[in-house]
Amino acid sequence: MVTDNNRLPLSLLFLRIGVFIVMFVWALDKIVQPDHAAAVFANFYLLEGMEAGVLAAIGVIQIVIYLAFLGGLFRTWTYGLVLVMHTVSTLSSYQQYLDPFNNLLFFAAWPMLAACIALFLLRDADTLWSVDAMRARA
Q: Which domain holds residue 106?
A: 7-128
CB 75 within 8 A of CB 123: yes
Q: ∠23-17-110 over CA atoms, to 5°?
A: 55
99 within some domain: yes
- Rounded to two decimals, what is the model's pTM? 0.94
Closest CA to 72 of 134, 116, 131, 21: 131
- Convert the pLDDT of each residue in 54-110 to its tens digit: 999 999 999 999 999 999 999 999 999 999 999 999 999 999 999 999 999 999 999
CB 12 within 8 A of CB 117: no
43 within some domain: yes
106 within some domain: yes
137 within some domain: no
60 within some domain: yes
20 within some domain: yes
111 within some domain: yes
33 — phi, psi (to 5°)?
-130, 70
136 within some domain: no
Count of the separate structural domains present in the chain = 1
